[in-house]
Structure 1
């Protein structure tokens, strides 16, 4: 007789969590490799906007982080061409300069010691919502990782190269994992590169679903307790790492032998 058919949901969740820790194998990519992979993954998932957007991760030395070189698109980033910069965006290693808009990343890192990676991009569907002045609506199981975890900045403060914009964006983000910025785009701030990448993908997918649903009618709310349950289930570290690894394998297959590997 099957053992699990009479078990409570909580027991089944804990059983599945233990099995994931045992069976899900995660590649040993370096921090720089994961950051470069994130650039390629998000490029392939609609986060490309020319030279706009920055993806950063804290470097080992305090007050420093890795970022891409201004002049390169997300699809051109490799582990070896990333820059290491300080909070003033002075280059500590690598060639070229950082995007001046990276300044607001310094403000977020200062305000949030828990944050290890920041994604800022202008994906199409999120940008459309930002033009309408509408926050993201979390009303589908796949979107629940964003439940009560995405803020909304209602007024555009302008190009984020000044300190005022950094204070505003860090302030509206608060302790959440993401924020939709009016007339601008997306910012994600997470405890790992893997989590930031997965959350950024889900934010854009949620915006696309919202625009599709709203074109057909009103969106029905979902139960907040069940949304929180799904939020915590999907955002387990091991599951997030496995999801990132899938997107990375997919990106590497799409690059194939014809392009420069992000791992180079």
Structure 2
């Protein structure tokens, strides 16, 4: 016997985010991290999340922002990973600080000229304090298909209104002119799939950029796994509230746990 649904009006959806509920206290990371240490952790976390392609990829953070290691009066330099180290082996002392022209101002190593993927985004957009770029497998598959991740699961709602596809491959972005052209194509989007290339994620903080990057690859895999099948999507009116809940409540949860797990295995990442 099938139960009869006697509802006449469905209940109103929740508001979502911190306005709906916030935790009284959160389990801490267990260490006070500098911004440089956070960036080193970002590489380790995303390497463990399957976001990397061996020699590829870079994450940049504006060094001159308040609280960042570049200090006041240095608004344009960037912290970035060096050429030659895999993401899973980077420590805080390995990071380099570079000028917008790519000159190494601090650090022992060279950096890739592909940092131009980042520089113009940092210059144009105050919201893009952190820029993450790599070639995670399932995001790259969708980029080859010309398909953006769909809202097939509630967690994908964190990308509502943020996605764009750059549909032309222009080769290695190794000049300021190519970086400016890419920034024109991206506009104000914060999650970008690049045809035949990879993905860019921007964020206001290291914590948020890493959470969104790790989550994106899983959402791309979910989309790929259901391609060609009948599927349902999260309704557009419900995505905003879920997005707020994920980012406003979930970012600290994800980051703290990911750092704790990383430091159990690689405490030297902070060195």
TM interval, short-chain normalised: 0.7 to 0.9
- The 5 A counterparts of 1:171-186 are 171-186=184-199
Change (3 A) 1:13 1:38: closer
Of 169-178 and 199-208, more deviation after overlay is shown by 169-178
Structure 1 residue 14 and structure 2 residue 23: aligned?
no
**SS of the residue 2:259 aligns to:** helix
Aligned partners of 1:127, 1:221: CA distance in 2, in Å? 22
Displacement over 6 Å in runs of 4+: none
Structure 2: which 5+ residue stretches go unaligned? 1-10, 65-73
Question: How far 1:104 moved relative to its partner?
Answer: 2.0
User: d(CA) in 2 for partners of 1:93 and 1:59?
Assistant: 11
Where does residue 132 of structure 1 map in the other structure?
A: 145
Q: Taking structure 2 as the reference length, what is the TM-score of the superposition?
A: 0.86
Offset at residue 87 of structure 1 (A): 0.3
Q: Deviations over 1:74-120 (max 9, x none)?
A: 01111111001110010111112111100121111011122211100
5+ unaligned residues in a row in structure 1: which ranges?
Answer: 1-5
TM-score, normalised by the number of residues in structure 1:
0.88
Matched, 1:263 2:259: no
Residue 230 of structure 1 is matched in structure 2 by 242
Cα distance change on mapping 1:219 and 1:158 into 2, 3 Å: farther
Matched, 1:218 2:230: yes
Against the structure 1 CA distance between its residues 12 and 250, is the aligned structure 2 distance closer, same or farther, given a 3 Å change threshold? closer
Q: Structure 1 pair 188/10, CA: closer, same or farther in 2 (3 Å)?
A: closer
- Cα distance in structure 1, aligned partners of 2:243 and 2:178: 30
Cα RMSD between the aligned structures?
A: 2.1
Match of 1:3 in 2: none
- Report the Cα offset of residue 8 of structure 1: 8.6
Aligned to 2:206: 193
Instruction: Output one character per residue of 1:56-81: Cα deviation in whole Å (capped at 9) or x when no partner.
Output: 11112210110011011101111111
Distance in structure 2 (CA, Å) of the matches to 1:219 and 1:121: 29
User: Greater share of helix residues, 1 or 2?
Assistant: 1
Q: Which residue of 1 aligns with 2:49?
A: 45
2:107 corresponds to which residue?
94
Is 1:65 the counterpart of 2:97 in the alignment? no
Alignment partner of 1:169 is 2:173: no
